[in-house]
Amino acid sequence: MQTTVQSTVRFSGVGLHTGLPVALVVCAAPVDHGIVFERTDIRLGNARIPARYDFAEHSPLCTMIVNDAGVSVSTIEHVMAALAGCGVHNALIKIDGPEVPVLDGSAAPFVRGILATGVKRLAAPIRVIEVLSMVEVHTAQGWARLGPGGGLTMDFHIDFADKAIGKQSKSLDLANGTFVRELCDSRTFCRAADVAAMRAAGKALGGTMENAVVVDGDSVLTPGGLRHHDEAVRHKMLDALGDLALAGAPLLGHYEGHKAGHTLTNMLLRELFATPDGYRIRECNTALAARLPGAGVEACEIPAVA
């Protein structure tokens, strides 16, 4: 059955890129509402933005959605991954600023808050998007593709010059709480050499050693080091799940990303939905629902390091 949160869940912090303080509240929503953001600081006009791929604007450093009135919310990928990974299909997210709080740089605080509140079943079946044929997109930096699959599985490959990251690959079946156990606590990361340029461009103004993994060559500068030896590729998979959640319903398929980011994953969804025979929407039976991310997950599964 479709779900929402049992009651409101509150978060506060600063935006990773704006550095501005922000409060975010995840509220219960009815059947077929989907995930929708509402800017509570916008008093006039349309302040609601559906969390869907066709409202996303391309950005290399985060995922931003914008409505027809030009109202936007950015860096939504971590909270979207948390909702998808906890199996929440419907929510109204009220936010009093232009960017989701970064918290510790991972999705774990969002997951912890959602699971502590609980997930409520609604009286309607889940509709899923089943990928029927391969779609693929490329840029000069990398590529991403989606193919058929019985659940949601993911392969991801990264390759960075810094030896602290280097080449990493990981494959996961995201069924039955894998996201919560394996990915949710992995933090955003950056190269020390890129920090000054990002800040000069007005980005990463809220980034600190408390909410990001910073690497320099073969060194991890963030105190405490890594939560996982392959934390970087795990975080890229976290981001990918959050970006795939903009499909508007759970996906059944196999995602593969090679040096992929937010732009490539959004391009991939646009390619999928521009291919009429490439997918179908179907109701989810009990057996299939049990294979979706978030099915049966419990708060005790959140890694202790987060």
pLDDT in tens, 73-106: 999 999 999 999 999 999 999 999 999 999 999 9
CA separation for the pair 189, 214 (Å, rounded): 6
Of 305, 113, 101, 303, nearest in space to 208 by CA: 101
Of 218, 214, 222, 257, nearest in space to 236 by CA: 257
* Fold of the domain built from segment(s) 3-301: lpxc deacetylase, domain 1 (3.30.1700)
Amino acid at 74: S
The per-residue pLDDT for 185 is 97
pLDDT in tens, 23-61: 999 999 999 999 999 999 999 889 999 999 999 997 778
Is 262 annotated as catalytic?
yes
Catalytic residue, chosen from 17, 78, 254, 262, is 262
* List of the chain residues with pLDDT < 50: none
List, in order, residues 6 or more apart from 138 with CB less than 8 Å away: none
